[in-house]
Amino acid sequence: MRRYDYVLWDWNGTLLDDLALNLSVENELLRRRGLFERADKDYYLEHFGFPIIEFYRALGFDFSKEDYADVANEYADTYAAGLDGVRLFDDALPVIDALHDSGVRQVVISATEHTLLQKQVARYDLTARFDSVLGSENNLGKSKVAVALDWLQRHGADPKRTLFVGDTTHDFETAEAIGCACALVARGHNSRSRLEATGCPVFGDLRGVLRLVRGGKTVLLAPDSFKGTLSAVAVASTLADVLTGEDPALTAIELPIADGGEGTVDAYLKIFGGERRTRTVQSPLGHPVDAAYAVLPDGTAVMETAAASGIAIEKENDAMRASSYGTGELLRDALDRGCKTVLLGLGGSAMTDGGTGFLRALGARFLDRDETELPPGGGALLRLRRIDLSGLDPRLQTTTLRVLCDVKNPLVGPNGAAHIFAPQKGADPSQVRLLDLGLRQLAFCTANTTGKDNAFLPGAGAAGGMGFILQSFCGAALQSGIDCILDAARFSDRAKTADLIVTGEGKMDAQSLMGKAPFGVASRAGQTPVAAVVGLLAAEEDAVRQGGIVKVFETNDRHLPFEQVKNTAHDDLVRAAKKLAAWFSSQAFAAERREPR
């Protein structure tokens, strides 16, 4: 049974492939006025919106010197003159016909002036395929809401049985205003990340819309990375390929996530879009390494300690010398760029230096009794006697620093950074004791400098003690990494429209149960069942189920050593995904769905 009786189509960028023509016309109008041509594709996709007059102002048009209506009409005339080379998207006609054959009534609703719109639709011999073709009363491009609402009321269509299909965030706003569902296609006038930020289904082509209307199931894919083998983006993409290959009617929505560790930058770029900036910085042991961070469209920088100071960077780590200096260099670059808000994910780090390297990169000095600066790493902290902040970058005082961290450990003691995490970074028992003593000396000198003792604050021990230094000297607020990204992705809203949520990570163990990404996902799932695909399951199945995950599929189900399976990770994931697909289509899944959570 189909889900919708009516489909309301946007025209430009959804059915008509006119992005290149739009860019050409806008740049022509700018040239005529002697203005800088800034309507390149990337800029356009990230900034185009309604009302269009505001977008034109951002391009440089001055409407104190000329009337916007004149510019809008000039645009329409220039656009019409260039239509000869513009075609429908290849799948537009087949999908329109397939929906017609299914008994779905279809309407075109556009911000294009009504008469011009009708001429364009007729140009492609489509008029007879639609119940109505409805444009705006002029060329000003204000909004489609009034047109859509008028049609809905005049025809008595049930909004719950109506789907609005478009390619911009304004199409989502129109659907929301008239109370109907929305699906967006990421090949028109807004970037995919902007569309995904709305929380509604986003497709790469119209075949996904066809599946949605016809009533196929929807799966929301929200895995974390499989550390050391596959990124969260790669895991989500592979799951989507396998699941839709096994069931062509299924809709797979990819939403790779991270909890502040490896993959955080990729996850935020996936949700919001923006620019990836790569800089050469110091690795944990002082070698040059390329590390990336993101600058989101609103100017917020997103970075992670794993990129510059991660345990995976060095072939052999030295727990006593490893430093966080490279992460400080990334932050300094973001400040140079003018970023005023920074999200910093703590996770996957190589060091136990209390964040001293990070602060050194920003101008602080850590001195011994002879006023000599200490060498990098936590192994030297026992000799610390004074912290000199005279050279600390003053821009930190006007920067909002939000730290993404799901670790609650204090800086020192049996549950502190050294005792809990340093062994994973190569420290032997004697080195663990020395590192803990060094962190205690850092806490003592910090209290003398700031008058604050933050050593036992939750999260102070994150990333080898960086949580401590960020709270003590940068005024940083520590937040749950998984909660922050799920909020940004409007995950709870997305979960409501899915038939199944699939999460995952490389190893699901007792630490995972303490709130890592998969269980953060499960806590936001509402009534939608959650399954997980993991490299290795090392937690009790009952505990996993109590955490909200009803089924787990292992890629390394033979429990072979990591070195043996890392080269077959993709093939093993495909195999596990096929098992997931079989379960999802079985009576076993139906029974899981009926069972109260």
Grouping H, G, I as helix, E, B as strand and the rest as coil, residue 215 is coil
Closest CA to 327 of 308, 344, 341: 308
H or E segment to which residue 327 belongs: helix 325-337
Q: Cα(435)–Cα(184) distance, rounded to whole angstroms? A: 52
Q: Cα(24)–Cα(22) distance, rounded to whole angstroms? A: 5
Q: Which two tokens stand for residue 441?
A: 């000396």
Per-residue model confidence (pLDDT) at position 126: 92
Q: Map out the domains of the chain as residue ranges.
A: 1-215, 218-256+489-594, 264-482
Q: Cα(554)–Cα(276) distance, rounded to whole angstroms? A: 32
CATH architecture, range 264-482: Alpha-Beta Complex (3.90)
* 327-348 pLDDT per residue, tens: 999 999 999 999 999 999 998 8
Per-residue model confidence (pLDDT) at position 181: 94
Q: Cα(456)–Cα(121) distance, rounded to whole angstroms? A: 67
Grouping H, G, I as helix, E, B as strand and the rest as coil, residue 398 is helix
In DSSP notation, 95-121 reads HHHHHHHTT-EEEEEEEEEHHHHHHHH
Residues of the chain with pLDDT under 70: 1, 37-39, 141, 592-597
Q: What Rg, from alpha-carbon coordinates, does the chain have?
A: 27
| CATH for the 218-256+489-594 domain, from 3.40.50.10350, 3.40.50.720, 3.30.830.10, 2.60.130.10 | 3.40.50.10350
Per CATH, 218-256+489-594 and 264-482 having the same topology is answered no
Per-residue model confidence (pLDDT) at position 87: 95
Number of H helices, E strands in the chain: 25, 21
Sheet of 530-537: strands edge to edge? 251-254, 218-223, 500-508, 530-537, 551-554
CATH (residue range 1-215) = 3.40.50.1000
**Any idea which residue has 């009790």 for tokens?**
540
Per-residue model confidence (pLDDT) at position 592: 67
Per-residue model confidence (pLDDT) at position 300: 96
Which residues are bridge partners to 367 per DSSP?
Answer: 373, 386
H or E segment to which residue 414 belongs: none
| Helix residue ranges, H only, 179-293 | 192-196, 206-214, 232-246, 264-272
pTM, two decimals, is 0.68
CA distances from 540 to 79, 300, 433, 512, 552 (A): 63, 40, 32, 11, 11
Per-residue model confidence (pLDDT) at position 594: 42
Closest CA to 498 of 324, 243, 147: 243
In DSSP notation, 419-473 reads HHHGGGGT--HHHHHHHHHHHHHHHHHHHHHHS---TTSTTTTGGGGHHHHHHHH
